[in-house]
Chains A and B, each alone.
Chain A
Amino acid sequence: MSKTIFRPFWSFDAVKTEEWLSAMHAKGYTLQKIHFASRRFVFEETAPVQTFYRIVYDKDKNGAPQIYLQDGVYDQVCFSKNFYVLRTEQTTPAMAPSYEGFLKRNKMIGFVAGFLLLAYFVMSFFPLAIIFVIFSVFAFTSLSLYVVMQVMLSSFIPLLITILTIFTFLKLRKTNRQLEKLCGDTLDLSLTLPKDTLMSKSETIRLRRSGQLIKKTKLAWQYAPDKVEIWLEQMAQAGYHLNHMSKPGNSFFFLKGEPYQAKYHVDYQNRTDPSYFNLNKEAGWKLYFTSLSRFQNLSVWGQEYTDAPPMFYSDSDSKIRHARKFALTYSLCFFPVCLMYMAIIVSNLFLFPHIGLARMLVQNLIFLLLILELGFFATRTILYYFRVKKTAAQD
């Protein structure tokens, strides 16, 4: 006897799906295969057995690599292009393939869903408001059933898509948090600051009044990370210990004490996962700040030392690669925007008979300032890259 169950959103909660497969197996329904495209799970009736399932997302892999099967612990039940399902009769196996692939995938989907919702909200708010006004005027005059039906029908599919997107976003927010924990995430953050660096408000006020806690604000420091690193190291040598940072990351709080040696590193990653934070922490680095997003993430790390300064990047190759990644991302973000603003300025020059001289001048001045600002930031990141390249070559 076989049994087919439709589970449309199984991949949004992989852990629950695995538990469900184990429970089915314990009830005597063994998974035979999954029709991945139509999201149907096919079971065969067998003797009930306690098992452990692990579903792995491994892009374009077409089945589990040998390494997961070679010890004879896991059997591959079925696979598709991107997924494979492993099963073992050891109920708590010593090692299991990581959820990291799943986490990466679901984070990307959650990110896209969130972005779509934001775009949808921004774009539809004004048109919707207009429609609402027109509609309410309409309602008082003559509103036929036909119009109502049409409006309802034409809004049904967009509504369904919106609800699905909201569901996806909320569901993944929850399950991604769980997957992060399962991947060993131990970050305890209050927005951007690790909770162990936080200080109570009364303590802060007391220490600031007594002059022991000093606040220094730096704007746009992140575009020249090496300069901040050196500055923080000099502060440490002068006896100012970096204690914590402000949530937006633009202020540094120092505690006055004995001079000491410390190494600081501002690190940029296109994407981070729990093992990034774990590895650096285990290597002795203390986290002071990490930007809100796990994509295009900027983190501030520091470590005290006595003999040789610890290195975040130990060879010149990885130092240069890090700086290049950083400079490339920021300049690719900023320069196109600069170009767009330039195009607006030029078109304003042509349009000014229509919009008036004063307005044209004010608008162009604003855009010019924006261009200068963004161009300045991007140039700083490129200069940073060249500085790193130069010092790395000297090592």
Chain B
Amino acid sequence: MSIEKIIKAYIPMSETAYYILLSLSEPRHGYGIIKFVEELTDGRIVLGSGTVYGTLGKMCKDRLIAIFDDKDRKTVYRITDDGKALLFFEIDRLKKVYENTVTQEGLFL
């Protein structure tokens, strides 16, 4: 799938998909992703394992992430260049959303 198609299919990203990609700043196990997102959001988001498994499978199919085996034969997920491109696209969008939010928020006070 071309990056344009990926962007069209994923953006705006669901919170689940966004945080999964965001957690892959380093290679992680499936459960490592759940723990990392929980800590990052102070327990606001606790991803269900079924949700994570389904989302990772879809992302693998679309080549946003790649599967590796580590030395303990555990599955490790790594973000690909396509995945990074998508993530940066969404980060850019969210930054704009954030800027708009901050300026507008003041006007309501």
Contacts and interface: CB of A to CB of B under 8 A. Distances in A.
Interface stretch (B72-80, B91-99, B100-108): B72-80
Contacts of B68: 95-98
Interface string A225-243: 0000000000000000000
B63 A65 contact: yes
Most central of B14, B15, B30 by chain A CB within 10 Å? B30
Contact of A98 (B29, B69, B81): B69
A184 B74 contact: yes
A265 B45 CA distance: 20
Given A184-B75, A315-B15, A318-B16, A278 B66 contact: no
Interface in B22-63: 27, 29-31, 34, 45-55, 63
Contact of B76 (A68, A95, A312, A321): A95
Interface residues on A, range: 35 or more
B66 A97 contact: yes
A95 B54 contact: no
A67 B55 CA distance: 20
A27 B62 CA distance: 40
A182 B73 CA distance: 6
Contact of A318 (B45, B51, B71, B76): B51
Contact of A312 (B48, B66, B72): B48
Interface in A246-287: 265, 267, 274-276, 278-280, 282-283, 285
Most central of B46, B51, B70 by chain A CB within 10 Å? B51
A80 B69 CA distance: 22
B28 to A, nearest CB: 12
B6 interface: no
A66 B80 CA distance: 8
Given A184-B74, A322-B50, A68 B66 contact: yes
A92 B73 CA distance: 12
B67 interface: yes
A280 B53 contact: yes
Tell me whether chain B's interface is mostly helix, strand or loop, or mixed: mixed
Contacts of A68: 66
Contacts, number: 106
Given A67-B81, A314-B48, A94 B71 contact: yes
Contacts of A67: 66, 78, 80-81
A98 B66 CA distance: 9
A100 B66 CA distance: 11
Nearest to B48: A314
A100 B65 CA distance: 14
B48 to A, nearest CB: 4
Interface string A277-306: 011101101000000000000000000000
Nearest to A282: B31
Contacts of B54: 313, 318, 321-322
A317 B51 CA distance: 9
A311 B48 contact: yes
14 contacts: A67-B81, A92-B71, A94-B71, A95-B71, A98-B69, A183-B75, A274-B75, A275-B53, A282-B49, A283-B49, A285-B49, A317-B14, A318-B48, A322-B50
Given A67-B80, A100-B75, A312-B48, 19 more contacts: A66-B80, A67-B81, A95-B27, A95-B69, A183-B69, A183-B73, A184-B69, A184-B73, A184-B74, A276-B53, A279-B49, A282-B29, A282-B31, A282-B49, A313-B51, A314-B47, A317-B14, A318-B16, A322-B50
Q: Which 3 A-B pairs have the closest CB atoms?
A: A314-B48, A283-B49, A282-B31
